[in-house]
Amino acid sequence: MALTLPAHPDPLAERIHRSGLLHELAHGLGGPFHYLLPERFDANLAAFRAALADAGVDGRIHYAKKANKASVFVDRCAAADTGVDVASLGELRDALGHGVRGEHLVVTGPAKSAPLLRVAVRQGALIAVDAPDELEHLLGLDGGRPARVLLRRHPPSQPGSRFGLDDGQLHRALERCAAAGDAVRMEGFSFHLSGYAVRPRADLAGELVELCLHARSLGLPADRISIGGGFPVDYVAADAWDAFLTAQRPGHYHGEKSFAAGDFYPYHSPVAGADALRAILAARPGGTGPSLAERLRQAGVTLLLEPGRALLDRAGSSVFPVQGVKDRAGYGIVTVDGTSLSLSEQWFASEYLPEPVLLRAAPSPADPADLADPADLADRPYRACVGGASCLDSDLLTWRKIAFPARPRVGDLLVYPNTAGYQMDSNESPFHELPLPPKVVVDHSGDRPRWRLDR
Ligand SMILES: Cc1ncc(COP(=O)(O)O)c(C=O)c1O
């Protein structure tokens, strides 16, 4: 039996799908593409801001740009005076070029390059220092102004993490900052945790508030902490997700491929996005005493966040034209124009599970499948995996045998929903000299969806 995992219903996406726009675009662009919905980004941003305001917490959001390369989202940050988290010189240049102010940037990532640090200091960006030698580098730089830094805490709850400064390094770094005078402005501490749990984030944030108080006793400003990203996205319904995790086994996948439940992103999250921030702010660090929101207020500490995936929730989807369909015993293999490089999850030995929607094209006599078997024109359910148009046996967008409502035909479109966060472009490459799928920005100023290319 096939296990179905449809994305949550999305009336806006359904309207676009019904409008015929995507077939027009596939025709005009001549291949796969991604479409982006910036109004969703704006709404997600507003929800995070509301969570901060409702908790009475002074906060600043930095969109983690690594989650999507599109310009439109950085434009929206500039327009909303929102910050951006950048982790490379390219990301920093792009953010500045789109009008985000230098002081609204936070620079993350390990062992940052000398040019990145130099530009970051000159632009007044906040730099999350990941290692003692990075701090020494900054202290030796003459950037014409103090380097604004956060000290990134190695998370004690994730001892295997390669990021951050351990206890000893952190305390030596504080002493170095206190002795450095105007070379550096130590504004606080940061962390980013793997996983999506609320509790460890609240606990570590509570510890960072205490560290700020300690740093102030050394004469340092220390008035902010960053809790990084990792706000979960809720892609699919709870019952479908639970049923899937219980039942999935190699027989559900092409090539009897096996996945452990833990190999998957948690596609269902009962508390997601800005609600996860609300939960973190309401939690009591260490399990007792005042809430995190209260501790931040009492200590006069500003909360910085670096959400990536959660700001992009439902802000984009990926569209692949069907290029061929062939039958195997008991299921089919749909090959699309495009590759699994445009759906990153495969490259983490995992699978993007929210299922693609089949958008039918008008039947064409040029399609040999239509001519060979007119019965295929009737919509009968059809199970198939989805492969990319490359010569790699492992290039599958979906190993799972998906229950399509009908046998896909050449010219139909498969729309993978909600791919803006990390899926659509993190790993794209022009393999086989296939062009990179363009990004199309769709907005709704009137009844009809309108589009433009993202530049
Ligand atoms: C330092 C840092 N901040 C923010 C993020 C964004 O995380 P997410 O997209 O899960 O919110 C990441 C992701 O790797 C990160 O490393």
Asked if pLDDT for residue 369 goes beyond 80, the answer is: no
Q: 154, 192, 265, 418: which to mutate for ligand 1, most atoms within 8 A of CB?
A: 192
Q: How confident is the model at residue 371 (pLDDT cuts 50, 70, 90)?
A: very low
Q: Is 245 a member of any domain?
A: no
Contact call for residues 72 and 36 (beta carbons, < 8 A): yes
Asked if 60 and 110 sit in the same domain, the reply is yes
Both 296 and 348 in one domain: the answer is: no
pLDDT in tens, 139-188: 999 889 999 999 999 999 999 999 999 999 999 999 999 999 999 999 99
Question: Is 247 inside any structural domain?
Answer: no
Residue 402, SS3 per DSSP: strand
Structure token pair of residue 445: 């100023």
- Residue listed under structure tokens 């296939």: 434
- Residue 228 belongs to a domain with what CATH number? 3.20.20.10
Does 200 lie in the same domain as 344?
no
pLDDT for res 444: 81
Residue nearest to atom 6 of ligand 1 (CA): 229
- pLDDT-based confidence at residue 92 (cuts at 50, 70, 90): very high
282 in the same domain as 150: yes
Residues spanned by the domain of 328: 11-37+314-453
What is the three-class DSSP state of 330? coil
Q: Quick one: how far is CA 7 from the chain centroid?
A: 16
For residue 266, the CA-to-ligand 1 centroid distance in Å is: 16
66 and 206 co-located in one domain: yes
98-120: pLDDT as tens digits: 999 999 999 999 999 999 999 99
Ligand 1 nearest-atom number relative to CA 128: 1
With a CB cutoff of 8 Å and minimum separation 6, the contacts of 294 are none
From CA 305, how far away is CA 342, in angstroms rounded? 27
| Mean pLDDT along residues 377-397 | 91
Atom number of ligand 1 nearest to Cα 421: 9
Query: In this structure, is residue 357 part of a structural domain?
Result: yes
pLDDT at 454 over 80: yes
pLDDT at 397: 97
Query: In terms of DSSP H, where are the helices of 131-191?
Result: 132-139, 167-179
Do 120 and 28 belong together in one domain?
Answer: no
Instruction: Reply yes or no on whether the pLDDT at 453 is more than 80.
Output: yes
% the chain with pLDDT above 90 = 92
The share of the chain scoring above pLDDT 70, in percent, equals 96
Task: Give the C-alpha distances (Å, rounded to integers) separating 289 from 54, 203, 293.
Answer: 20, 12, 11
Has residue 363 got a pLDDT over 70? Answer: no
Mean pLDDT of the chain: 95
For range 32-60, the mean pLDDT: 98
| Atom in ligand 1 nearest the alpha carbon of residue 108 | 1
pLDDT in tens, 210-256: 999 999 999 999 999 999 999 999 999 999 999 999 999 999 999 99
Single out the residue of 367, 318, 130, 297 nearest to residue 228, CA to CA: 130
360 in helix, strand or coil?
A: coil
Note the pLDDT of residue 447: 76
CATH code of the domain containing 334: 2.40.37.10
Residue 273 has a pLDDT of: 98
Half-sphere exposure of 108 (CA within 13 A, CB side): 27
Residue of 60, 63, 66 best suited for mutating to test ligand 1, as the one with most atoms within 8 Å of CB: 66
pLDDT digits (tens, 9 = 90+) for 266-291: 999 999 999 999 999 999 999 999 99
Average pLDDT for 72-97 = 98
Residue at 262 is within a domain? no
Q: Once rounded to an integer, what is the mean pLDDT over residues 75-84?
A: 98
Contact predicate 389/337, CB 8 Å: yes
- Please tell me what DSSP assigns to residue 329: T
Shortest CA distance to 344 belongs to which of 249, 244, 437? 437
What are the pocket residues of ligand 1 if the criterion is a CB atom closer than 6 Å to any ligand atom? 64, 67, 85, 108, 192, 228-231, 306-310
Q: How confident is the model at residue 365 (pLDDT cuts 50, 70, 90)?
A: low
Neighbours of 448 (CB within 10 A): 10
* Last residue in a domain, options 280, 312, 344: 312
- Which H helix or E strand runs over 403? strand 396-404
Q: What is the pLDDT of residue 27?
A: 97
Q: Are residues 25 and 138 in the same domain?
A: no
3-state DSSP assignment of residue 284: coil
Q: Give yes or no: residues 80 and 17 share one domain.
A: no
Which are the contacts of 63, defined by CB distance < 8 A and separation ≥ 6? 45, 73, 74, 77, 82, 83, 84, 85, 306, 307, 308, 311
Q: What is the pLDDT of residue 445?
A: 73
Asked if residue 289 and residue 276 are part of one domain, the reply reads yes
In a domain, 212, yes or no: yes
Are residues 319 and 307 part of one domain?
Answer: no
Name the closest-CA residue to atom 7, ligand 1.
Answer: 229
Rounded CA-CA distance 299/209 in Å is: 7
Q: 409 to each of 28, 31, 340, how far by Cα in Å?
A: 19, 15, 20
Which secondary structure element, helix H or strand E, spans residue 359, and what is its range?
strand 357-359
**Tally of domains within the chain:** 2
326 and 219 fall within a common domain: no
